[in-house]
Amino acid sequence: MTLLDEGSLPAAWYLRWKANPHAVIVIDAAGSVLRADEVEALSAARAASLHATGVRAGATVLLSCAPSIDLVLTYIALMRLGVTVLPANTGYTERELEYIVEDARPIAAIVDHPSRSGGLRRLGVELTVGPALDLPAAPVMAGLIADVDPDAAAFVAYTSGTTGAPKGAVLSHANLLAGAESVRQAWEWTPEDRLVLALPLFHMHGLGVGLNGTLLAGASVVLLDHFSVDPVLDAIATHDATMFFGVPTMYSRLAASARMRELSTLRLAVSGSAPLPASVWNRLAKGSGQQVLERYGMTETVMLTSNPLHGVRRPATVGMPLPGVDVRLGEGDVVEVRGPNVFSGYLNRPDASAAAFTDDGWFITGDVGQFDREGYLHLVGRTSELIISGGYNVYPRELEDVFREHPLVHEIAVVGTPDEEWGEIVTGYVVLDESASAYSSWRDTLLAHASERLAPYKIPRRWYRVRELPRNAMGKVVRSELTPP
């Protein structure tokens, strides 16, 4: 079976619902349950309500809500109508929303708090409603929900913007289907699986993989509106869950819990969106027997590589190419990819779109990587994070991995600070363990640790101790917001 045999996600979902109408699909934190036949009927009715307001195939609709059953139904309705979904962070301020609204020009917005509606209307979005769609009912007419065009835009997903202004990646229905199908095959995702999902549903990890993949597999999902250790572990036990998806910050907190061993009941635990420290991976493996599967994806590509379901899972690597995906290393060992999951370009950015691809059509990820002898991909860093100090290239990821090995270091981010003499000075921002207060010279302790493992030019010359590192909603460090305390 190829990645695109089923045409589109909505078409594949419909077949799953009709084949097993009484299967449980969605469970929320309160225990509410929707079966497949209910999901099909309710999402069709919701699509009819949207259609009656003027929302049509090809239109763009902003979707910005906390995870809930209502959000899932509305998202499915939009996808079945052939609408272009514009996922937006629920934490965005009016200024941040203004940027993507002016760029993507949605005709409607679905938000989860009335206070946000006024700001969106000021930005020119005429229709703003809640996820439950407080709209008049409308008949589900024949032909209302047609097969969507696989090549039509399904998402305009904005990049996280950790180093600059976000860009809207345009992903087709075929891109989303290919991305979800590749992990369905690789992870042997079946209708018997149940995923505990505590990720936001405005990002590729939670929406494009977690929810899309669940619906494609005909499986079920337990939706939590936020992450907290005990509710996640309770949900795994209560609902006999087989899968959990999380970001490294979540796994770090799970590894610190006295209940960590409860993860052992899962068939599969997957980490993504940021590098999972090997120290956290090892603690989880030792304390629960759960070898977390780390994978690699991007807003522009859905999923690209994965550690194997069967076989050796190697900490600090992102595994091998997924089915249908080609990966190579280009100039400067920058990772380049191609496949049916890869987007076509950025919205309203012809120059950026052209620059994102090689002459022979491979997408340039901006991540620097290395393959080991067994074919596992190691991500070294991003070209945008490269520090050039005294003419030497320094990649922060390598340094951060070394310092995380020291017990005093909870978190660390390394950046370059402009300097007239050196060009840039390697600078470390570090969150230390409480025991560091007993060290009169914690800097010397860390420098001694590094001197045995790193060339002198890589060792930070400047250090700042901070309470926490600035992160975006998916746990990635926002390096542009690192400033001396």
pLDDT, average across residues 103-126? 84
Is residue 107 within 8 A of residue 126, CB to CB? The reply is: yes
Res. 164 pLDDT band, cuts 50 70 90: low
Helices 69-81 and 36-52: crossing angle in degrees, nearest 10, is 60
Helices 9-19 and 173-186: crossing angle in degrees, nearest 10, is 50
pLDDT, average across residues 235-239? 97
Domain edges within the chain: 9-377, 386-481
pTM listed for this prediction: 0.86
Is residue 14 within 8 A of residue 40, CB to CB? The reply is: yes
Q: Quick one: pLDDT at residue 17?
A: 97
What is the percent of the chain with per-residue pLDDT over 70, rounded to a whole number?
97
Q: Quick one: pLDDT at residue 343?
A: 98
Buried b (16+ CB within 10 A) or exposed e, 18-53: eeeeebbbbbbbeeeebbbebbbebbbbbbbbbbeb
Res. 476 pLDDT band, cuts 50 70 90: confident
Nearest to 391 by CA among 457, 470, 292: 457
Q: Which top CATH class is 386-481?
A: alpha beta
Q: Quick one: pLDDT at residue 61?
A: 95
Q: Quick one: pLDDT at residue 335?
A: 96
Weakest-pLDDT range from 124-133, 179-188, 465-474: 124-133
231-237 contacts, C-beta under 8 A, 24 or more apart: 231/29, 231/198, 232/196, 232/198, 233/257, 233/259, 233/262, 233/263, 235/29, 235/196, 236/196, 236/262, 236/263, 236/265, 236/266, 237/262, 237/265
Res. 147 pLDDT band, cuts 50 70 90: confident
Mean pLDDT across the chain: 91
Q: What is the sign of the dihedral through the CA atoms of 469, 474, 480 and 481?
A: negative
Question: What is the CATH code for 9-377?
Answer: 3.40.50.12780
Is 216 or 433 the better-scoring residue by pLDDT?
216
Residues 378-405: tens digit of each pLDDT: 998 888 888 888 777 788 888 888 898 8
* Residue whose structure tokens are 């100039």: 331
377 bridge partner residues? 371
Is residue 157 within 8 A of residue 168, CB to CB? The reply is: yes
Is 50 or 144 the better-scoring residue by pLDDT?
50
Residues 405-463: tens digit of each pLDDT: 898 998 899 999 887 678 789 999 999 987 766 556 888 889 999 888 888 888 999 99
Q: CB burial class (10 A; 0-12, 13-18, 19+) of residue 483?
A: exposed
As given in the structure block, the two tokens for residue 150 are: 């696989």
